[in-house]
Structure 1
Amino acid sequence: MTEKHTEKYGDTYEVVVVGGGAAGLSAALVLGRARRRTLVVDAGEPRNAPAAHMQGYLTRDGMSPADFLAKGREEIARYGVELVRDRAVDVTRDGDFTVALAGGRTVRARRLVIATGLRDELPDVAGLAERFGRDVLHCPYCHGWEVRDQAFGVLATTPMSVHQALIVSQWSKDVTLFLHRTAEEELSDEDLRRLAAAGVAVVPGEVSGLVVADDRLTGVRLAGGAPSREGTTHALEVLFVAPRAVPQTDLLRRLGAQLRETPFGAYAEVDETGLTTVPGVWSAGNVMGMAEQVVNAAAGGYRAGVTINGELLMADLDAAVRV
């Protein structure tokens, strides 16, 4: 948004987009091109920041997440969209929406896009967080090709860990499932049959930490359990782990939006366009689903932007007819 445009409309916008990741920027791009007064509030905490590259996005495969977002910010600026580096801390509705920012600014909007994503909480294992996004990974579709045929480990942290071990075996025939704090008895007969068929080794015992040499993961160390396993080191080159997903739904909750409970957290209930159960509020990206990759998030933001523009147009035309 140009300085002149800001002076004319002050802190009132047609659409405020909360979240400056792929979903939020995509919605803002559509709305800016549709000549809508749009503000993006970006807290600057993208989920994929630890990763050096992103994959699976046609024509952007291998691009760094930071470069992707920088390019997106450049693109929305061409169409007069304003972006502010701040955090939305409250939202209320009295016809339009009022969004309070951490920096003290308050903005108004006719429509909202909530694209606040989710936060990954890693298991409490020494050294895990420092290597996340490098050789500690969570998604084989994001990183599997780059680490193919290396020695994989999978840290069991959820009921889906067996499934994760089976999936990653597509990228390597050297896969070990470390049960960590999961009891061997918790694996079903079907789990064991499938793991055996995939050639996945199963190692009981809690993982106490990572083994790193020359800034490369070389193994994991067990601790506790049977004395024969105390301090045992298992060599590997890549460790897959499933973080605990924490959807950033505070603003949606404040608005009274309905959330759907899943084994991986509570996510926004939306229709096919991203519209939540609160009229005038759309959601896109990981705040509406854990499995939304960058390409999905961008598509969701696009759908929301197109729908919002059409709704605003019809609302204004109907208001003009009534005059």
Structure 2
Amino acid sequence: MSAPDPSTSPYDAVVIGGGPAGLQAALTLGRMHRRVLLLDSGEYRNARAEHLQNFVTRDGTPPAEFRAAARAELTAYSTVTVREAAATAVVPDGDGFRVELGAEPGADGPESLATRTVLLATGLRDTLPAIPGLDGLFGTVAAVCPYCHGHELSGKHVAVLGNGPHVARVAFLLERIASRLTVLADGGDLEPGIRAQLDDAGVAVRPEPVKELNRSATGATVSFAEGPSAEVGGVFVASEFAQRAPFAAQLGLRMQESGAVEVDPMGRTSVPGVFAAGDMAHTSATPMPLASVLVAAASGLLAATTADGELLARAHPAP
């Protein structure tokens, strides 16, 4: 049986997103000799993070180093192509899809690629509270996940910013790690039950509005609308997030209340032939996406094996 002409035949899969989920998906499909294209726009949710944490064998690895090592591994698979390019649209086309790329420097114009399946791994975009200085600290001194960034603040004064129901849980996750904890309520009212829990646990509460945060030698200086400033080693904050890319809306994918794409336990979306992995998607069994590099990579593997199985079923339908 002769192989299809690679210059004209559709890709088996186009993976959009060059983070952990997309890289793992491309590796998995490449190991099954699928013709796969990985598109990496160069934008990453963890771009500001200095290290990735809580990933066995990779604990403390800079994200750029992780991506470089993954790309180097992909070069061993001749059916995998990696391009530093941003997709602009994904459009159903017959039994597959067209993936549109923006015009690149030196090119005649936009490019359109055919693929049998699409695997989305485009991640999320964080929106932080509008406090001066917070955005500049995000990913280093300020973070969202105690499991990823808590240990590095061992023995330090740690602040939890916000006044919602999450603040007690985050504070209690950190109580074995931090030497001192303060909730920055930022002018909001904590629910009485939550305030009672914090008081019983000896967690301080600063109710004043936060004026600004500035990087300091120990972490950050928190200035308030009134009262003395506070020195902290780190700040945990709950961000609001949205899809980083437009493809879920373009394809009409079913969404979760969290703002993430709904997938089944195997990484399938509501549109046949479209799969999703990483923190842009989650199943109904979890209330929100899990912001973990290890989980993202695992979901990329799972979605890729599901896509491969679907392609296999198309080629060899059940009798």
- TM-score, length-scaled by structure 1: 0.88
SS state at 1:297 partner? helix
Give the Å deviation of 1:47: 1.0
| Cα distance in 2, alignment partners of residues 301 and 286 from structure 1 | 10
Q: Unmatched 5+ residue regions in structure 2? A: 104-109, 283-288
The residue aligned with 1:201 is: 204
Q: Quick check: 235-244 or 88-97, which moved more?
A: 235-244
Q: How does 1:47-86 map to 2 (within 5 A)?
A: 47-80=45-78, 81-86=80-85
How many angstroms does 1:192 deviate by?
2.1
Amino acid at match of 1:53: H
Q: Which residue of 2 aligns with 1:227?
A: none
Specify the code of the residue in structure 1 equivalent to 2:56: L
Does 2:217 match 1:210?
Answer: no
Q: Which of the residues 270, 274, 283 maps onto 1:277?
A: 270
Contact 1:247 1:286 in 2 (8 A): no
Q: Summarize the Cα distance change of 1:172–1:302 in structure 2 as closer, same or farther, 3 Å threshold.
A: same
For the 8 Å contact 1:155–1:240, the answer to whether it is kept is yes
| Identical-pair percentage | 37
Corresponding residue to 1:187 among 185, 191, 200: 191
What does residue 125 of structure 2 align with? 119
Query: Structure 1 CA distance, aligned partners of 2:163 and 2:196?
Result: 20
Superposed CA deviations along residues 38-93 of structure 1, whole A, max 9, x for unmatched, are 00111111111111111111111111111111111111221121111122111111
What residue number does 1:221 align with?
223
Partner of 2:100: 100
Cα distance in 2 between the residues matched to 1:208 and 1:7: 62
Measured in 2, the distance between the counterparts of 1:282 and 1:27 equals 10
Alignment of structure 1 residues 1-323 onto 2, 5 Å: 8-10=6-8, 12-80=10-78, 81-95=80-94, 96-103=96-103, 104-156=110-162, 158-183=164-189, 186-189=190-193, 191-214=194-217, 216-223=218-225, 230=226, 232-248=228-244, 250-262=246-258, 266-289=259-282, 290-318=289-317
Change in Cα spacing, 1:166 to 1:310, as seen in structure 2 (3 Å) is same
How far the C-alpha of 1:182 sits from its partner, in A, is 1.3
Structure with the bigger percentage of helix: 1
The residue type paired with residue 287 of structure 1 is M
C-alpha separation in 2, matches of 1:127 and 1:107: 42
In 1, Cα distance between equivalents of 2:86 and 2:245: 13
One-letter amino acid of the structure 2 residue matched with residue 294 of structure 1: V
Change (3 A) 1:149 1:306: same
**DSSP-derived class of the 1:318 partner:** coil
For 1:53 and 1:33, locate their aligned partners in 2 and report how far apart those are by CA, in whole Å: 28
Answer yes or no: is the 8 Å Cα contact 1:118–1:246 preserved in 2: yes
Distance in 2 of aligned mates of 1:242 and 1:313: 42
Unaligned runs of 5+ in 1: 224-229
Change (3 A) 1:172 1:246: same
Q: Distance in 1 between matches of 2:18 and 2:164?
A: 30
Aligned 8 A contact 2:141 2:220 in 1: no
Count of residue pairs brought into register by the alignment? 303
Check whether the contact 2:18–2:121 (CA below 8 A) recurs between aligned residues: yes
Change (3 A) 1:59 1:90: same
